Structure 1
Amino acid sequence: MNEPICLLEAVNLALARALDDDPEVILFGEDIGHNGGVFRATDGLAKRFGAHRVVDTPLAENMIAGTAVGMASQGIRAVVEIQFMGFIFPALEQLIAHAARLRHRTRGRLSCPMVLRAPYGGGIHAPEHHSESTEALLAHIPGLRVVIPSSPARAYGLLLGAIRCDDPVIFLEPKRIYRASRTLVEDSGAALPIDRCFTLREGADLSLISYGAMIPECLAAADNLAERGIDSEVIDVASLNPIDYDTLLASVSKTGRAVIVHEAPGKGGVGADISAVLNEQLWGQMRAPVMRVTGLDTVMPYYRNEQHYLPGVSDILDAVDKSLEAGRNEILQATGSG
């Protein structure tokens, strides 16, 4: 591409590349063909590749997921769309009981190379069942990979990596940043690894760990902290199952402090799991307790109140200040000062 594109357009570009490169790739979902999907992520693909490869389905998420599992078991790389994450729950039986277990159940004779795409998260003034962030439910399931992009380039590369993977992948697209920024993305066909973190900014004083739509907030917080002389490392987790703990542990062992940020509720969230591993592996090396900045443990509110629910830059900065203050207090106590 010669012009910058947004994350949504990068998804479309990756899907087109996958369809072009591999005749075994097929897309299907509700309104993805003629209408190009609710957010137009598949716009133009049915016209380009035909209705036999970009297929409209009934409003039946369980059927969509079940059909994908059946196709994948026979080597077809099915890429299916669920219109919103809030509609994914009828598909969970197929994902948990069949897609995630197929390789284990057949002792490796069969695999399940399917991708389930779903826009997720809040911040677009959507009604009920359109703003969920329940990724921890899926990341908890052995056998399901969970991947979340946070930029156009990573959306392109990670989606191609997901489609080429022989395991089932849940590919969650943070719709709040679908059109938030535009960057140059080369349509090279190169995939990114779907089991690695991405270090977006090097730093020595603390690690900001996040994914999805909260990455821009973390980068903005890091800019603010830099003006105060605080050097922040920003890490995009990207893969929630498996999580690349080697990168996270290396970062936090260097900085001694970690602030984990996600918009999903804190209880039972991905941040809690990361915090537990950091504490287990780096006990005695931390300069302050791990801090978490998350959404509230409530149902995502309607649009008039969603900004009170979503974490912002100020919330991240508050957590950083608490981390820095905790470290200073421990030093004072150890030296008998203060």
Structure 2
Amino acid sequence: MTRMSISEALNRAHHDIMAADERSLVIGEDIRGGSGVDGGLELGGVFGVTSGLAAKFGEGRVIDTPISETAFVGMATGAAMTGLKPIVEVMFCDFMGVCFDQIMNQAAKARFLSNGRFDLPLTIRTTMGAGDGSGAMHSQSTFGMLASVAGLTVVCPSTPADAAGLLKSAVKAKGPTVIMEHKGLYDFAEDVPDELPPVPIGKGRLMREGTDLTVVAVSAFVHKAVEAADTLAAEGISVEIIDPRTIKPLDEAMILASVKKTGRLLVAAEDAAFGGFADQLTAFVARSAFSSLTAAPVSVTPPDVPVPYGRKAEAVWLPGVDEILNAARTLASA
């Protein structure tokens, strides 16, 4: 076992992938991060995830691009059609609005429009999440919206091992996968297996067993849910926590089995308050396990307004442990 942060685990996974398959390449803005400047260091993008790749694998496989998401996501889509395995870094998920036509109408549909004549092994890594004062256009979490696009796989890791393992599985997939990495979790570290094995796409993880309440938490909210569960345990409330890891395809069987056991569902997700992942999951559980529910499902999400820039306003906007605790206590007593 080795202790790694999420950023370090992703970097290690990139190196493993590139070494194992010469068809893999990395594309994006500033992914070499200063290597083109005289005497500059290869910082590996603004978050350091791709550091060392260009020096090891060359500029032909680690490609810095102009500031044009439409251009380089389109280029990567075409590359994937030819049998290459591009990993594209879109610096912030907010910028996917720039290249959404390439993602929604090209990458997501190409395999279907070709009647399966070719695969499209495209991996898009991007960041999400508020809490660092980056404002409304650098802090969104759009995994629910992206999951609504037919043909896309969407994953949201919360741990170093899952981040690396899901990346390794994504590059082997036949269709496009979007990996949503929370900016606030890049420094989160824990012990990981030395080999960083692939993590199956579509399989959730049971973080904690419980009997009174099921909490399905996504990305950074997983850690908030675990902290809340410790407090609730001292109050006599037993919480079961599921990290879905994959937003689409969702591990519906694991979630339904848990809800049928506890009779209660709380969804905690930094996603849209209207029409997002939380709404989709509560609707699915209401349709599929209505007779097992002892109370209506509850969700904890930010309010339906853009992320504030002011740090104090942002702190009010972003739900935390207290909001999960309050919702769980109310639901457990229903």
Band the TM-score falls in, shorter-chain normalisation: over 0.9
CA distance in 2, matches of 1:27, 1:187: 23
- 2:308 aligned with 1:287, yes or no? no
1:265 offset after TM fit, Å? Answer: 2.5
CA distance in 2, matches of 1:76, 1:141: 23
Query: Which secondary structure state, in structure 1, belongs to the residue aligned with residue 169 of structure 2?
Result: helix
CA distance in 2, matches of 1:184, 1:318: 31
CA distance in 2, matches of 1:183, 1:23: 30
- 2:56 aligned with 1:48, yes or no? yes
1:127 offset after TM fit, Å? Answer: 3.4
1:323 offset after TM fit, Å? Answer: 0.8
- 2:152 aligned with 1:153, yes or no? no
Contact 2:144/2:272 (8 A) holds in 1: no
- 2:219 aligned with 1:219, yes or no? no
CA distance in 2, matches of 1:67, 1:53: 13
- 2:254 aligned with 1:247, yes or no? yes
Contact 2:2/2:194 (8 A) holds in 1: no
Aligned residues: 324
CA distance in 2, matches of 1:91, 1:236: 29
2:263 to 247, 256, 267: 256
Contact 1:71/1:78 (8 A) holds in 2: yes
Contact 1:208/1:234 (8 A) holds in 2: yes
1:50 offset after TM fit, Å? Answer: 1.2
Q: Deviations over 1:57-100 (max 9, x none)?
A: 10000011101110000110000001111111111101111111
Q: Deviations over 1:31-73 (max 9, x none)?
A: 0023411111111111121111111010000011101110000
Partner of 1:329: none
Give the aligned residue type for 2:164: Y
- 2:64 aligned with 1:65, yes or no? no
Q: Deviations over 1:2-40 (max 9, x none)?
A: 641111111111111100111110001000023411111
Partner of 1:332: none
Partner of 2:214: 207
Contact 1:217/1:312 (8 A) holds in 2: yes
Contact 2:267/2:278 (8 A) holds in 1: yes
Partner of 1:334: none
1:271 offset after TM fit, Å? Answer: 0.7
Aligned-residue CA RMSD (Å): 1.1
Give the aligned residue type for 2:151: G
CA distance in 2, matches of 1:189, 1:237: 19
1:186 offset after TM fit, Å? Answer: 2.6
Give the aligned residue type for 2:289: L
Return closer, same or farther for 1:123/1:164 CA change in 2, 3 Å cut-off. same
Give the aligned residue type for 2:266: V
Following superposition of structure 1 onto structure 2, how do residues 106-255 of structure 1 map, counting pairs within 5 Å?
106-179=114-187, 181-188=188-195, 190-255=197-262
Partner of 1:336: none
- 2:28 aligned with 1:21, yes or no? no
Contact 1:119/1:174 (8 A) holds in 2: yes
1:232 offset after TM fit, Å? Answer: 0.8
Identity between Structure 1 and Structure 2 (%): 36
Q: Deviations over 1:113-132 (max 9, x none)?
A: 00011111111221341101
Partner of 2:309: 302
1:311 offset after TM fit, Å? Answer: 0.9
Give the aligned residue type for 1:285: S
Moved over 4 A (4+): none
Contact 1:124/1:303 (8 A) holds in 2: no
CA distance in 1, matches of 2:26, 2:221: 28
1:189 offset after TM fit, Å? Answer: 5.0
Return closer, same or farther for 1:324/1:11 CA change in 2, 3 Å cut-off. same
- In structure 2, runs of 5+ residues without a counterpart are 36-42
Contact 1:114/1:168 (8 A) holds in 2: yes
Partner of 1:335: none
Partner of 2:38: none
What is the TM-score when the length of structure 1 is the normalising length?
Answer: 0.93
Q: Deviations over 1:286-337 (max 9, x none)?
A: 11110100011000111422111111111011111111222xxxxxxxxxxx
Partner of 2:39: none
1:159 offset after TM fit, Å? Answer: 0.9
CA distance in 1, matches of 2:104, 2:212: 40
